[in-house]
Structure 1
Amino acid sequence: MMPRTPAVAAPSRYEADIKALEPEQRRAHDTIVARRGTFSPPYRALIESPDVALAVEHLSSLLWSGALPTTALEAVFLVVARRLRCAEQWRRHEVKALAAGVTPQEVDAIAKGLPPGGSPETRTACVIAKRLLAGQRIGRDHWADGQRWLGKRGLGELCAFVGVASIVAASINLQGIAAP
């Protein structure tokens, strides 16, 4: 079970000294900050490869404005955080999930590894994300639910979003950031 939201995050192994960034890194940094308003923890490690940092940011932006509802995306972020044991990702996205309309009961269910109640879109996205993260194929019944509640485009975007959320968790875990 993931911990409830603590107040402050632990430091990163990649505390970026903005003045020490190479020109390509600085351009990528400035682009990310211009889009997001901040330079969040996953990008601290990814900035070592500026093109990768920008590609992740671009794909993330596309998916957040894509076919899936924000409630489903935030709930999937929590599913990924739990599966990859990324307490810092959980800490940051639990608050966002609640603000997006994921209920405290749904958050608690995800924290326990259970499918959330709530909307069929959110429940379906979480069930499929959990199966993908476990290396399981998506069977006929789950595919039918996905088509019904998310559509083919939504299923494709869900696959990509699980990947982006996994990159975020891996980057945070690489840095040794642990929620206190």
Structure 2
Amino acid sequence: MPRIPEITDRNEVAEEVRHHADSIIASRGRIQPPYNVLLHSPDIAARTAHLAGYSIYDSLMPMDVKEIAISTAARGLNCEYAFASHISIARDVGVSAETLDVITSGAPTESLATEDRQIVDFVRHILEAPNRVPDTLFSEMESRFGLETLVELTGIVGAYAALACTLNVFEVEAPEER
């Protein structure tokens, strides 16, 4: 049970900022986590929804790359809601069972295909102290993706770290497995 009341209807938001709830409903079909808690601060909800929406729907990065990164971030931040949501999407977009197992367990990445290993390691380095990506891995990622996509990938990890913080602080429960 979340720590604060969930906002599930647009009419639960003040009329002067209801357009933020309407925008979230228009893009996602309903008010769902984390927006059901973020709408207690409608402006932050709208800005967060914009960034998260870009990350998932508008980014040109391949879905498997995004979902490996998001699932790794969610697991690394112990965010059960985001992890349950995105590990399922990762499976649906064709991420290998071996990669999903390594992400889920937090196991070392040596056994993974180079492409998946790079992404998991990159995200883990961002999120684990000292929160720095080694030069060798940075160079590998820049060569593979190019600078624009590498910046985008880093931004997606940051966006999902913010979402994970919200979901964790307000104790939003993980969805049922599908």
Q: How many residues align?
A: 170
Matched, 1:61 2:57: no
The answer for the alignment partner of 1:43 in structure 2 is 35
- Relative distance call for 1:110 and 1:43 in structure 2 (3 A) is same
Equivalent residues of 2:7, 2:31 under 8 A apart: no
RMSD between aligned residues: 2.1
In 2, Cα distance between equivalents of 1:69 and 1:119: 16
Q: How far 1:25 moved relative to its partner?
A: 3.9
Deviations 1:28-49 (A, max 9, x none): 1110111122322111221122
Equivalent residues of 2:8, 2:36 under 8 A apart: no
The answer for the alignment partner of 1:34 in structure 2 is 26
Equivalent residues of 1:68, 1:150 under 8 A apart: no
- Relative distance call for 1:129 and 1:147 in structure 2 (3 A) is same
- For residue 41 of structure 1, give the secondary structure of its aligned residue in structure 2: coil
The answer for the alignment partner of 1:128 in structure 2 is 122
Please tell me the residue identity of whatever aligns with 1:130: R
Please tell me the residue identity of whatever aligns with 1:171: T
Matched, 1:139 2:131: no
For structure 1, list consecutive stretches of 5 or more residues without a partner in the other structure: 1-9
In 2, Cα distance between equivalents of 1:50 and 1:17: 13
- Relative distance call for 1:175 and 1:24 in structure 2 (3 A) is farther
Report the TM-score when normalising by structure 2.
0.85
The answer for the alignment partner of 1:88 in structure 2 is 81
- Relative distance call for 1:67 and 1:20 in structure 2 (3 A) is closer
Q: How far 1:118 moved relative to its partner?
A: 4.0
Q: How far 1:67 moved relative to its partner?
A: 3.7
In 2, Cα distance between equivalents of 1:142 and 1:22: 47
RCO (CA 8 Å, sep 6+): is it higher in 1 or 2? 1
The answer for the alignment partner of 1:71 in structure 2 is 64
Equivalent residues of 2:21, 2:39 under 8 A apart: yes
Deviations 1:73-108 (A, max 9, x none): 111111111111111211111111101111222111
Q: How far 1:136 moved relative to its partner?
A: 2.6
The answer for the alignment partner of 1:7 in structure 2 is none
Equivalent residues of 1:16, 1:44 under 8 A apart: yes
Report the TM-score when normalising by structure 1.
0.84
The answer for the alignment partner of 1:100 in structure 2 is 93
Identity %: 26
Q: How does 1:109-128 map to 2 (within 5 A)?
A: 109-113=102-106, 114-115=108-109, 117-118=112-113, 120=115, 122-128=116-122
Q: How far 1:57 moved relative to its partner?
A: 1.4
Please tell me the residue identity of whatever aligns with 1:154: T
